[in-house]
Structure 1
Amino acid sequence: MKKITLLILLISFTAVAQRTTKGIASKITLTGKVLETNSKQPLEYATLVLTNTNTQQIIGGVTDANGSFSIDASSGTYDIKVEFIGFKTKSLGNHNLTENKSLGTILLSEDAETLEEVEVIAEKSTVEIRLDKKIYNVGKDMTVKGGNASDVLDNVPSVNVDAEGAVSLRGNENVRILIDGKPSALVGLSGTDALRNLPADAIEKVEVITSPSARYDAEGTAGILNIILRKGKVRGFNGSLNFSVGNPDLYRISSNLNYRTKKFNIFSNLGYSYRKGPGNAFSDFTYLTDGVIDSLSIEKREYDRKNKSFNGSFGMEYYLNDKSSLTGTVFYRNNDGKDIATNNTDVFSPANDPIRSLKRVETETEDDIDIQYSLNYTNNIDDKGQKLIIDLQYSENEEDELADITNNNILAEQNSQVTKSKNRLLQIDYVLPLGEKSQLELGHKADLQDLTSDFRVRDENGQPFDFDPSNAIDFKQYIYAYYAQYGSKIDKFSYLLGLRAEYTDVDLEVLNTGEFSDKNYTEWFPTVNLGYEFSETDNLTLGYARRLRRPRHWFLNPFETRSSDTYVFKGNPDLNPTYTSSFDLGYTTRVSKVTLNSSLYYQFSTDLIRPVSRIETRDKGNVFVRQFLNLNDEDRYGFELTTNYNPAKWARLSATFNYFKFRTDAFDYTYSYTNPINGDLVTETESLPEVNSSSWFARFNSRITLPAKIEWQTRIMYRGPQDDAQGSREGIFVTNLAFSKDIFKDKASLVLNVSDLFNERKRKSYTNTARVMSYQEFQWRERQITLSFTYRFNQKKKRERSGRNGDFDGGGEGF
């Protein structure tokens, strides 16, 4: 496999070298800006189409967030047109281009006659390459219809979502997830679990930022995933309704509604769902004492989940004048769940004789309420790109969980946990263009979180146990950040240099023990992003960024999970941040109908945060305990390749391959606990060996147009096996199928989607230590079949013209 990937890289670089040496005509750069006629608002993703009048060759480009464009072309005479969905196409006539030229400001007017023929969802997914990120437009992806945000992320190249919902980027699970560029209540207190309640139809695109510039938070050693929600761009009332039903039981209704006038834009995303989520787990433990088998146990677990969820966001953008606007958004989510976990545990002697059996049933009800208020002020100070953006955000999150646990049908425990969080955010960004090709950005951000969690464990009579795992914490994390970055373009070379400073103050108090931890630190995070365009179809990027991973509150909270009597997870209040230096070399080329994106990357991390397993002896026997620790350093490097191939109008193919290798230093750690049998303090030392391992994952996607205009989409994903310091994980194979048919004169679509066709999306792992050998199998969600109906009003299908893959504009988001 290594030889194949290296050969592909060699062929790719050779191809670009050959093409760049064949150029005869001189190169020129065409610049300008596209605005809406009445509001003078910039039109992002407007398309410039240049047709060579002699060769009829067509090249083009798209505008950035400021409406600016910069297109490189060979000298010659071109017929130039400007297009944007819902607007009248503007012809600029023929231009004889012999030197760099600016077209100035181009104004586009909305086309009232064709307004009803506009679709805000692109016909196909496209990829845009920016200097510091890749943008994946979700497009008409049938395999996520009726799904949620986790399904969308799992279909984005470089991203994987495992059986438990954990999101990883290039095999690294420390990913920062943002909504519309900011932390959001959509992610909630439960982390990525909350993404399962965000409908896929609410998402317009996902930005994958593997080498973030200084404008982004330093959090996330793997990088950042920024989910952009849909907002209408055309005037009048338009939107869509989606209805989905499925097996296991799934009922969902969602809407995206938008009303826009010259003075304001009202937008909303609403969704309600009811879902059953059956799952299962299996664990086989062999306990050892001095290398001799002490006992064995087998645990089988069944999950019966029922969930009702309502998501609603409502916002209005008000255009104060031609250059500035004020946008207010309210988001509300109410999630009610009832989960029943049934554990059947059998314990055996070394001779395999039964010792005891236990049926442990946890019945948990959960009520989550999240509310968030956001206010954005944007002032496009002048037509040159000078901009001031101010964001204010306030959110409250509350999770109430009640759980009754029975052992062999007898009430044994009554548990409760109440978690409340308040978050405040202030962000100021200022953009100052310096000439036509350079700009300076400055910014400040304050992100403040106050969280309390009260976890109580009581016996059948409502009294504490002698060995009481109850606890309550008070957690505060205040982050203050400042950044500056400067970017410019010199001919075909672009660069973006930045520096970010973040001051972090973290306080954690365990209220029932009086333990208190106060950690504060100031760190500097330099970023470098470089790009070079060989031609309209070939470019090279190089990025460096220093990042960190702060431990979340659930990593620090020392409470123990109670679903199982023999397998628990607990937090670690002594965790420190992980720091990572990341390097990324990317190359993009397009040859005929094939587009190729490739990357080589390297990451060096210190104080690595990883889960470690151990055995503790308690009154009911051995207990398998899993806890996060700071390990030693890690080196990680890999190669990624993404290709798109459209052999015919009726066939579209794409594939992603990622191979990575990592090495973690050997590590010795000491832990202590109190033996509840005799009250003695037990102190033990474990040694973790050096790990030198590798893994890979691949994804293939095909979309075929069948007779009667039925669309057939297949997605196949395989995540390879992987070793760690205490064991290994088997590979995972997943296949999704979808069939789609447009009806009612293309105003509606009917989609049949089968997720995990072979019902094999299971995490299978092995753990081997001096005290235990185990095999564990976990399936969060079983195969899902979904039928979705989408109706669009004031929208019909219109295929977007794809822009070029490289976008290195000299201003705004082009960097």
Structure 2
Amino acid sequence: MRYPVFIIALLFSFASFAQSVMNKGKITGKVIDAETKLPIEMAIINIYQEKETKAFNGLSTDKNGAFSINNLPAGDYRITVDFISYKTATINSTINPKAGVLNLGSILLSPVSNQLNEVKIVSKTSTIQNKIDKLVYSPANDLTSQGGTATDVLKNVPMVSVDIDGKIELQGNPSIRFLINGKPSSMFGASISDALQTIPADQIKSIEVITSPGAKYDAAGTGGIINILLKENKVEGINSSINLSAGTRLENGSFNFNARRGNFGAGIFFSGNKQLTTETKSSSERISYSEARDSINRLFQSGVNPFDRNGYRTGINLNWSVTPKDELAASFSYNSFSNNSTGQTLQSQTSYLADGTLLSEIKSERNSTSNFEENAIDWGLDYKKTFEKENRELNFQLTSSNGKSDINSGHRTSYEEDIQPVSGLRNINPGKDHQVGLILDFAEPISEGYTLETGVKANFQNIENNIVTDTLDTDSSYINNKGQTYAFKYKQNIYAVYVSSSFAFFNSFLIGKAGLRYERTNTTADFVGVVIPDYNTFAPSFTVQHKFSKDQSIKFAYTYRIERPDYEDLNPFFNISDPHNISTGNPFLKPEIGNRYELGYSQNFSKGTNIYFSGYYRRNIDDIQSLTTFHPTLTISGTDYTDVTLTTRYNIGTEITYGASLFGSVSMGEKITIRSNIECGQRTNSTPGFESVSSFIYRGNLNLNYQFNPTMLGEISGNYRSSQKIVQGDRPASYFYNLAFRKLFFNKNASLGITMTNPFNKYMSQKSNSYDANYSQVNIKEIPVQSFGISFSYKFGKLEFKKGENENNGVQEPAY
């Protein structure tokens, strides 16, 4: 089905090419700084008809200083060019009905002065921007995440849900490709939830949600892409900021310093945080049956698990405008995070005959520890070349990421009245992850409204892992377990090429993008007896949009995505941190394939009110899910484990999901702003050997902002995520509610914030069920959720506005 749809989209694009030849009435140009000869982004272009005082058309320049205004009737015009701290330029010209296109060439703007002693900008930043291929969320007015991390910001992003354990889903799908500033990082490979906890909320400029990625993006991630854009400086001058917070659960701090002079800019940053120790209480009861159904076993576990997490990030960014048409950027960052947990679990194993006769009872105590640490170095080099021909562009990107992780875990079980000898094991698991990426993209405008893009990419990933397992002997000494001690190397090379087109036809009645991406995946792993076959992926995509006006649009999109099993999914190592609940990887997993259709509608109203609607249908085949089987006795490397559930990932059939998301932001006067996300969907899993499971899922978010006065803002917010049926049980519901205040002082350069999360609930109870033909299990967790925090932020420095990047309604926002 996907290929006919893709062909139709390409036919549309060729139709647009023919239509574009007929377009007439166009003014183009480029705005340049008269002194530095650098392009000026976000300069305001206004078009006036002869003898009129009110502009009837206009826009702002792009990042190359270029602009193009279409569909203008023939006649005389007055064009004005404005930008802060520059003298206004006025040009009088005429559009000839025969020529059609009027090219003003380079327009030089002269600065009013070389330096501004003080710059004050007052504007209300738009929280949501809906673009043709993405939704952009700005957390500038998100008080509940102040002093928090990226996870706290994501809780308020439309179409994104975060459960109580920090797991992320995009429109109900956990298969998400995470990027930082458009680039992958090995730090996401070890633990996404831990990695997100190391990114302070105050360093996030915006979050891009790409549910239907085009051909330019990697095909990985059936749920889509979440790109976290960090703040950076592209304005003339020096500025810096410091952010500190302390609380009952989280402490963090960050420092940014940015400087730019002429065509060179640099910035450094540091951030660190610590999640204070919390204790999660848990209990579980499992009822299992013998194969003959003549006996019943009951396993009851109850324990407390203290947990803490910490991490920090630091790095440097450099930007050099070599010439007005050549940009060079470099970045380097170091990321480190870790978590530690201990646990004490009381266990009771009881066996009965079917008539209730007690056969045996074993009571024991298990003490466990787990220590995880990840260190990652990311660096990148970007080169961008523009040309005299408008919108012709060449981009080259080189990225490298090196991650090193260490996992040390173990457990020790002692039995009441010493009816059995003490048992236990320990694991030492160091690993390395090295990724290198090469990207070359080229864009060529063919005609008005038609641009062709093409590119190639190569990504090389090498993982080395060493696992040493020692088993506790009867004399209380540890001996090496050879069956669970081994080393492996995992390599995955992906080669890709794509072609896509941006088109506009019927006088821009419809605009869109269509493309095809080809990827070749080569994977090798020295798992014993396992050969992972190479495979090809053809991933078509298209998006078509109609704008009723500049404030109202509707779009339809289709995309083909895959989810490659990573090395953790494939690794056949047995995780025996809990001998009664064991997990392992499946080296025979195939990639999951997803086809997704989306219908989106957005409208902006006056005074900052806007809505965005997204309806979607997704069908995944070879769906990767976890299945659990019960074993009365499971033998691993010569050791017998009794009363065990074994969890493994499988390709288990088909998953169909359809649903809708609705985001709205309403300004009620000057003081009150209400934002809300509502999402619901129906998910059906069809798995051979199991009954089909259908589940209705919903999630809601509500934020209320109140402006007490120009320097004080308050917010109350709430999130609810419904329970969900899965193939072998259910997942519990969860909710959060927050109160926050922020006070500005020192001429709005400093702020003091207070946040409260679940202030009236110290713990959240989570009850879940799982089962198969031979067992049923109930799990209960008491998770600490209450927290109080205070945060302080101060920004300082002198700014000179020459040019800069901005996506916030034309307001230049320094990198604070």
Q: TM-score range by the shorter chain?
A: 0.7 to 0.9
1:732 and 2:734 matched? yes
Q: 1:612 aligns to what?
A: 627
Change (3 A) 1:36 1:437: farther
Which range moves more in the overlay, 67-76 or 199-208?
A: 67-76
Q: Partner residue of 1:416?
A: 428
Equivalent residues of 1:153, 1:161 under 8 A apart:
yes
Alignment equivalent of 2:523, drawn from 502, 506, 509: 506
Cα shift at 1:760: 5.8
- Which moves more between the two structures, 355-364 or 518-527? 355-364
Query: 1:575, 1:629 within 8 Å by CA — same for their partners in 2?
Result: yes
Is contact 1:529–1:542 with CA below 8 Å preserved after alignment?
yes
Report how far residue 237 of structure 1 moved.
Answer: 1.0
Q: Identify the residue that residue 653 of structure 1 maps to in structure 2.
A: 674
Equivalent position of 2:20 in the other structure: none
Alignment of 1:42-121 (within 5 A): 42=39, 61=59, 63-68=61-66, 88=86, 90=88, 113-114=115-116, 116-117=118-119
C-alpha contact (below 8 Å) 1:734/1:756 kept by paired residues: yes
Per the alignment, do residues 88 and 346 of structure 1 end up closer, same or farther by CA in structure 2, a change over 3 Å counting? farther
TM-score, normalised via structure 1 length: 0.84
TM norm structure 2:
0.84
CA distance in structure 2 between the partners assigned to 1:521 and 1:665 by the alignment: 25
Q: 2:396 aligns with which of 390, 394, 413?
A: 390
Q: Within 5 Å, give how 1:626-705 maps onto structure 2.
A: 626-667=647-688, 687-705=689-707
Is the partner of 2:429 in helix, strand or coil?
A: strand
The answer to whether the 8 Å contact 1:327/1:376 transfers is yes
2:235 is aligned with 1:234: yes
Q: CA deviation at 1:660?
A: 1.2
Whether the 8 Å contact between 2:46 and 2:55 is mirrored in structure 1 is no
**3-state SS of 2:524 partner:** strand
| Corresponding letter in the other structure for 1:554 | E
* Inter-partner Cα distance in structure 1 for 2:93 and 2:732: 60
Q: CA 1:272–1:134 in structure 2 vs 1: closer, same or farther (change >3 Å)?
A: same
User: For 1:652 and 1:706, how far apart are their aligned partners in 2?
Assistant: 12
In structure 2, relative to structure 1, the CA distance for the partners of 1:60 and 1:142 (3 Å cut) is: farther
2:4 maps to what in 1? none
Distance in 2 (CA, whole Å) between partners of 1:506 and 1:296 is: 43
C-alpha contact 1:241 1:255 (8 A) present in aligned 2: yes
Q: Corresponding residue for 1:265?
A: 265
**Partner of residue 624, structure 1:** 645
Q: What is the identity percentage for the equivalent residue pairs of Structure 1 and Structure 2?
A: 27
Match of 1:534? 548
Query: Structure 2 vs 1, CA of residues 82 and 543 (structure 1 numbering), >3 Å: closer, same or farther?
Result: farther
Q: For each residue in 1:77-130, what CA deviation from the matched residue of structure 2 results, as whole angstroms up to 9, or x when unmatched? A: 99987666x6548475999999997776555667755474368x9854432222
Pair 1:456 & 2:458 matched: no
Q: Which residue of structure 1 aligns with residue 3 of structure 2?
A: none
Take 2:268 and 2:494, find their aligned partners in 1: how far apart are those partners? 31
Secondary structure of the residue aligned to 2:494 is strand
Residue in 2 that maps onto 1:184: 185
The answer to whether the 8 Å contact 2:187/2:375 transfers is: no
Q: Any idea what SS the aligned residue of 2:678 has?
A: strand
Give runs of aligned pairs for residues 315-464 of structure 1, distance below 5 A: 315-350=317-352, 355-382=361-388, 384-408=390-414, 412-460=424-472, 461-464=477-480
Which residue in 2 is equivalent to 1:518?
Answer: 532
Judging changes above 3 Å, is the alpha-carbon distance between structure 1 residues 612 and 784 closer, same or farther for their aligned structure 2 residues? same
**Equivalent in the alignment of 1:302:** 304
Aligned counterpart for 1:478 among listed residues 481, 486, 493 = 493
Cα distance in 2 for residues equivalent to 1:148 and 1:772? 39
Note the residue ranges of structure 1 that are not aligned, 5 or more in a row: 1-26, 668-686, 805-815
2:265 aligned with 1:253? no
Letter aligned with residue 443 of structure 1 = G
Aligned match for 1:556, one of 556, 559, 570: 570
Q: CA deviation at 1:309?
A: 2.0
CA distance in 1, matches of 2:684, 2:242: 49
User: Amino acid of the residue matched to residue 119 of structure 2?
Assistant: E
Task: Return closer, same or farther for 1:35/1:395 CA change in 2, 3 Å cut-off.
Answer: same
1:515 match: secondary structure: coil
**Secondary structure of 1:143 counterpart:** helix
Q: Is the 8 A contact 1:662 1:694 kept in 2?
A: yes
Task: Say if 1:239 and 1:795, in contact at 8 Å, map to a contact too.
Answer: no
CA distance in 2, matches of 1:324, 1:91: 26
Alpha carbons 2:233, 2:267 under 8 Å: kept:
yes
Cα distance 1:80–1:154, how it changes in 2: closer, same or farther (>3 A)? farther
- Distance apart, 1:368 and its partner CA: 2.0
Question: Contact between 1:115 and 1:794, CA under 8 Å: does it hold in 2?
Answer: no
Write out aligned runs for 1:711-790 (5 A). Answer: 711-757=713-759, 758-759=761-762, 763-778=766-781, 782-790=785-793
Q: Deviations over 1:200-221 (max 9, x none)?
A: 2221111111111110000011
**Separation (CA, whole Å) in 2 of partners of 1:762 and 1:47:** 54
Q: Secondary structure at the match of 2:287?
A: strand
Match of 1:809 in 2: none
Q: 1:159 to 1:62 in 2, by over 3 A?
A: farther
Equivalent residue of 1:735, what SS? strand
On the 8 A contact 1:545/1:581 being kept in 2, the answer is yes
- The one-letter code of the counterpart of 2:268 is S
Equivalenced residue count is 752
Q: Distance in 1 between matches of 2:199 and 2:357?
A: 47
| 1:356 alignment partner AA | I
Residue 355 of structure 1: how far off its partner (Å): 2.1
SS at match of 1:212: coil
Say if 2:46 and 2:59, in contact at 8 Å, map to a contact too.
Answer: yes
The answer (yes or no) to whether the contact 2:530–2:588 under 8 Å persists in 1 is no
When residues 568 and 633 of structure 1 are mapped into structure 2, their CA distance, relative to the original with a 3 A threshold, is same
Distance 1:39 1:484, change over 3 A: farther
Provide the C-alpha distance between the structure 2 equivalents of 1:477 and 1:327, rounded to a whole number of angstroms: 28
SS in structure 1 at match of 2:141: coil
Q: Which residue of 2 aligns with 1:587?
A: 601
Aligned equivalents of 2:54, 2:365: Cα separation in 1: 75
Residue 303 of structure 1: how far off its partner (Å) = 2.8
Q: Is the 8 A contact 1:506 1:518 kept in 2?
A: yes
Give the CA deviation at 1:604: 1.6
CA shift at 1:541, angstroms? 0.9
CA distance in 2, matches of 1:337, 1:651: 40
Task: Give the alignment's Cα RMSD to 1 decimal.
Answer: 3.4
Q: Which amino acid aligns with 1:590?
A: N
- Name the CA shift for 1:759/1:439 in 2 (closer, same or farther; >3 Å): farther
Pair 1:37–1:431, CA change in 2 (3 A): farther
Greater Cα radius of gyration, structure 1 or 2:
2
C-alpha displacement of 1:635? 1.9
